[in-house]
Structure 1
Amino acid sequence: MDPNGKAAVVVGGASGIGRATALELARRGADVFVADLHEARAAEVVREVEALGRRAFALRTDVRSDADVDALRDAALGALGRVDLLVNSPGVSLLGAVEEIPIEDWQWVLDVNLVGFVRTCRAFLPPMLARGSGWIANVASIAGLYAYSYDAVPYVTSKFGCAGFTEGLAVYARPRGVGVSLLCPGLVQTNLAENARIVGVPDPASFLHFPEHMRRAIAPEEAAAVLCDGIEAERFLLLTHPEDEAVLRDRRADVDAAIARQVRESPDPFAGRYGPPERG
């Protein structure tokens, strides 16, 4: 889909990849409706889009709320007339010891990173299906394609769910003329840490682990360019880091060997928390 002359909604559009995508779409000729929890930041993005010569609007939206998402749909359709492109880019992070994390925290990360995407797609998909055209782009994470570290099991769970939902949606919606893309970025310089919880470990600094191949951070603008190029090329899976492509090839070739190697090369997540395991 060529964004030129199109109407786009960017959820989570006030910062990070979402903000960069809103601006990139405007540069490519789209009008943009920004949805985000942070009203002041969203208003600033509106001003930036307008400075690029495109129409822009914003609405405070909590993707955990059915009422908020329905209000967003109605406001976007009222302001733009139609929605050609929906970009979902909200996100939170939950890390820590799996057995110590309360269910309430699990529900929080899943409600934003998975169910929030379902809510917005459910709201915006019907007009696209009725029209027989449109595009949905969901921003997940490389963590949605493989579990990059032991410290992020809840985050990985939510992103795997998002990736699976998006692939299923692509199969479902494409026959009706609605395209779908999935962006799985590696490390990006965003403010995700503002929306992060670390639970169940006394010393997070000694528990958290980032694999060597995932330590190269890119700017949000680079990720947004990959996303917008992919939408224009009408591609499904979009990656930002060639390093991840190599990891994914290895895992497809032999996932058991890949997981065994990952365990060998990672620190012990249970160091200092338990005694030695019993050997049967």
Structure 2
Amino acid sequence: MELNEKVAVITGGASGIGRACALAMAGRGARIVIADVNEERTAQTLAEIEAAGGWARGFDCDVTRDGQVERLAERVLGEVGRADLLMNNAGVVLGGPFEKIPMEDWQWILDVNLLGPIRCLRAFLPHMLERGSGYVVNTASFAGLVAHNPLTIPYDTTKHGVVGLSAGLALYLRPRGIGVSVLCPGYVATNLSENYRFRGLEEAAVGPARMPDSVVTPEELAGKVVDAVEAGRFMIFSQPEHARIWAKRAQDVDAHIARQLEVLAAQQPAV
């Protein structure tokens, strides 16, 4: 999709990856709509876009609330006129020993990371389908392809769900003129840690694992996102080695799990 003069709606667009993508898309000529729960950061990002000569609007929206998502779509379509691109980017992290995580926390992360995109898709896709054009970008994670940390099972579960959702949507929507990409980054220097919940870590016997890659900036990742959208590419990685790791895992999942267990064991301090 050519981004110039298109309307891009970005949830979680006031900070981190969403903010960087908003600025990058605005730089390609897109009109930006930010949907976020943080009004102060939304205002700051809108000001940055406008200072650079771009067009931007902001709306308060909690993606866990059906009514707020429906109202967002109504206001965007009514006040802006259309929505050409939807980026489902709002997200949170939940971790800890599996047996220590209460069901209300599972509901929280599912509500934001998986049901949030579904709510937004249900609100905006009818408009795109009616027009026969549009684009969807879903932010997943490399953890949605390769589980690497035994203490982030809820997060990994939701992100695997987003990858599956995106793959199914690509099959369903591409014949109808709507492109789909899924973003699967590794470590990115963002404020996602502000939306962390960890349970029972003080009792955990296993420490957090580290992924074998370097940290990228949101701006570096945003450049990959806009390039992928304009090229119509489905899978977006933050680091090139991730594609190789993913392919190797797919060839022998048992071997991958065994290797990862060895890595985790080596990371534990000597007793």
1:37-48 matches, cutoff 5 A: 37-48=37-48
2:261 corresponds in structure 1 to 263
> Which consecutive unaligned segments of at least 5 residues does structure 1 have?
272-280
Q: Please report how far the alpha carbon of residue 210 of structure 1 lies from its aligned counterpart in structure 2 after TM superposition.
A: 2.8
Q: Please report how far the alpha carbon of residue 269 of structure 1 lies from its aligned counterpart in structure 2 after TM superposition.
A: 10
1:232-247 matches, cutoff 5 A: 232-247=230-245
2:124 corresponds in structure 1 to 124
The DSSP-based 3-state class of the residue aligned with 1:266 is helix
Instruction: Kindly indicate whether residue 219 of structure 2 is the aligned counterpart of residue 221 of structure 1.
Output: yes
Q: CA RMSD in A?
A: 1.7
1:254 corresponds in structure 2 to 252
Indicate if the aligned counterparts of 2:12 and 2:89 stay in contact, CA closer than 8 A: yes
Per-residue deviation, residues 39-83 of structure 1 (Å, max 9, x unmatched): 110111111111222221101110000011011111111232111
The DSSP-based 3-state class of the residue aligned with 1:150 is coil
1:119-198 matches, cutoff 5 A: 119-198=119-198
C-alpha separation between the residues in 1 aligned to 2:62 and 2:240? 33
1:22 corresponds in structure 2 to 22
C-alpha separation between the residues in 1 aligned to 2:251 and 2:149? 20
Q: 1:187 to 1:89 in 2, by over 3 A?
A: same
Q: Please report how far the alpha carbon of residue 243 of structure 1 lies from its aligned counterpart in structure 2 after TM superposition.
A: 2.5
Tell me the number of residue pairs that the alignment of Structure 1 and Structure 2 aligns: 269
Runs of 4+ in 1 over 6 A off after TM superposition: 268-271
Indicate if the aligned counterparts of 1:133 and 1:178 stay in contact, CA closer than 8 A: yes
Code of the residue aligned with 1:95 in structure 2: it is G
Indicate if the aligned counterparts of 1:9 and 1:85 stay in contact, CA closer than 8 A: yes
1:210 corresponds in structure 2 to 209
C-alpha separation between the residues in 1 aligned to 2:65 and 2:215? 32
The DSSP-based 3-state class of the residue aligned with 2:202 is coil
C-alpha separation between the residues in 1 aligned to 2:58 and 2:73? 12
Code of the residue aligned with 1:252 in structure 2: it is A
C-alpha separation between the residues in 2 aligned to 1:56 and 1:200? 42
1:89 corresponds in structure 2 to 89
Code of the residue aligned with 2:100 in structure 1: it is E
C-alpha separation between the residues in 2 aligned to 1:44 and 1:251? 41
Indicate if the aligned counterparts of 1:207 and 1:269 stay in contact, CA closer than 8 A: no
Percent identity over the alignment is 48
| TM-score of the pair, normalised by structure 2 | 0.95
Code of the residue aligned with 2:181 in structure 1: it is S
| TM-score of the pair, normalised by structure 1 | 0.92
Indicate if the aligned counterparts of 2:36 and 2:62 stay in contact, CA closer than 8 A: yes
Per-residue deviation, residues 73-98 of structure 1 (Å, max 9, x unmatched): 11111232111111111110001000
Code of the residue aligned with 2:239 in structure 1: it is H
1:277 corresponds in structure 2 to none
> Which consecutive unaligned segments of at least 5 residues does structure 2 have?
none
Q: Please report how far the alpha carbon of residue 211 of structure 1 lies from its aligned counterpart in structure 2 after TM superposition.
A: 2.7
Indicate if the aligned counterparts of 2:86 and 2:137 stay in contact, CA closer than 8 A: yes
Per-residue deviation, residues 229-257 of structure 1 (Å, max 9, x unmatched): 00000011111112212211211221111
Range moving further from structure 2, 47-56 or 193-202: 47-56
Q: 1:220 to 1:203 in 2, by over 3 A?
A: farther
C-alpha separation between the residues in 2 aligned to 1:193 and 1:95? 12
